[in-house]
Structure 1
Amino acid sequence: MNDPLRLQPRSTVLVVDDTPDNLSLMSALLKDHYKVKVANHAEPGLRIANAEPPPDLILLDIMMPGIDGYEVCRRLKAEPRTRDIPVIFLTARSEVEDETHGLELGAADYITKPINPSIVLARVHAHLTLKAHADFLRDKSAYLESEIAKRTAEVQAIQDVTIMAMASLAETRDNETGAHIRRTQLYVRRLAEQLRDHPRFRAFLSERCIELLYKSAPLHDIGKVGIPDEILLKPGKLTPQEFEIMKGHTTLGRAAIEQAEQRLGMQVDFLTLAKEIAYSHQEKWDGSGYPEGLSGDAIPISARLMALADVYDALISKRVYKPAFPHEEAVRIVLEGRGRHFDPDVTDAFAAAAEDFRAIAAEHRDED
């Protein structure tokens, strides 16, 4: 396997020292091995360090007029663009406290003067090698993160398209529903946002949960694919026997999602919510709904939100058996269902967000 570090260009070493003789000495020592840049003061040294391309390593004197080496090191380590450049102090200060302070500031090494040329070269080489490895790993990590983000986005897009395709398949059975999927998706999210700080719902309606509800909502009527056309598209009132068959779309919907989950071989959060919504969105707060006649808090929160969103949209939409009601009439009917058909607090949230519902319905109208 090729060593990626061999592909690195010749390293650049910046020497910052206010003494001309020291600059000449270090330049002569390093020039056969590295590109050498010099600065006779802290400020030009900082400018070179922040320029493009930055140096690969900095040899830094401590005792300089104005800004000393310690302050230069502190500034280098405080800036994201220079903090990963290794700094080696090259100084006449030989006290342990001086060396400790330099290392605490983030310096990679500390060499006292007078220098031993072979020691300087060995340490410079060692730290440049460490930096090359660190840069390689950092670049590889950034590349992998980028690839993961890209693949995650691709999977997310495929997932979203699949959900919408499945939901649209159900809706094509009833060609008068049009943008029903999109509207109910937005209604559910708006209700959840309205309720997220409510004491009864705060623990459930996290930001992630609201996003999952939004993703799950289109599958609420997936079970319609199993209902015969003569019942689903009947323009008049259903007979009791026909209504019993129609009620089966909730069970069929949950079963379809469960089968998909079993084929996947793992539980997925949004499918758990999708099963709740598909199965229980026809339940009513007072227990008069179906398929189980659940009441009150026994009805999943996800299904309670969808129940109201679905009814409001059915009221404002034209169906084979009824004309579209105006927004005001739909709001009145929904509010009358408070405590009977709908959770009282969900109904209050709808009342507070009713104008947003009107705007969603207007933006996503059914095509004639």
Structure 2
Amino acid sequence: MHRNPGLSVRLRLTVSYAGFGMVAGILLVAVVWVFLLRYVPDQATFQTARTPADGSLIPPDLFVPGRSDLWRAFAPKAALALGLLLVIGLAGGWVLAGRMLAPLTRITAATRRAGSGSLAHRIDLPGRRDEFRELADAFDAMLARLEAHDAEQRRFAANASHELRTPLATTQALLDVARQQDDSELLERLHSVNARAIDLTEALLVLSRADQRSFPHERVDLSLLAEEATETLLPFAEKRGVTVETSGDIAPAIGSRALLLQLTTNLVHNAIIHNLPVGGIVRVSTATHPGAAVLTVENTGVVLDRELVATLTEPFQRGTERVHGDHTGVGLGLAIVESIARAHDGTLILTPGAGGGLRVAVRLPAAAR
């Protein structure tokens, strides 16, 4: 933004300090002058002492100055004092303003470095807490979040490029072979790879839509969404030998029904995929707490480390090996869940089960009655 040049803050503070000092000095001189005038006659007078009857010494005549005499004596010295006060106010104000604004110089330099792309720089302003220190600390915290977000976006771009390149390269190879021979199995594989690329693209669009918060807000019952997602995925769970259990109370929340259904479906689908090969269980429950509606999805499975669980919400991260087999997904399930929860001002909590598996709890603001 183009701005016309103006006076610096330091100069304006200096003039303000000096101006305030001058006003205070003028008021002080005016008060002194007013009080002096109360006891001074308008004209100068001479008082002659009377001769005592006892013949003692006669005191000298007394001269009482008038207001004009007092003004001629008082005005030059008052003007000199005010001039000295102005000079001292300007010099002292310039020094004080410079010391007061010194932290602002460091903050401005850090802001310019951040604007040029250097997010690793921090102000680290020393001293006790005041307005400038609070501003510097808030700016440092913002830089830390921006740096973390930038690193996450870089990883996301790299992983997305890898994930998209794999099905596209496979499709290209299959097309080259399909040109030479008519193979139904080859065409089926080509269809599967193409469907995976479409699923990945749609997942990226859902993730972008949730991050932008461009969705309508309505009253949504999480318990109904849990039942709908469970019924939709029940054939898939039976095919993999996983039992799905649904329970809970009515849990009304405010948000997008489509996105919250996507969130619930992703959680249930993820719990079915990453489960025991035989006899797996998925438990879906809903509950209400003061000011919150909670959706919980638990599953059985292998024992997970807490360090691994902490990374599962990153895009293209999986708790198992990166295979592209039957319904393994595109690696965006929990990333989409976290993004949707965050867009609804909610929280996502992942906890490894004591005997294996994962417990995922989504806490959303409850809808008003």
Question: Fold match, TM over 0.5?
Answer: no
Q: Which has the larger radius of gyration?
A: 2
Higher percent of residues as strand: 2
TM-score normalized by the length of structure 2: 0.29
What's the TM-score, normalizing by structure 1?
0.29
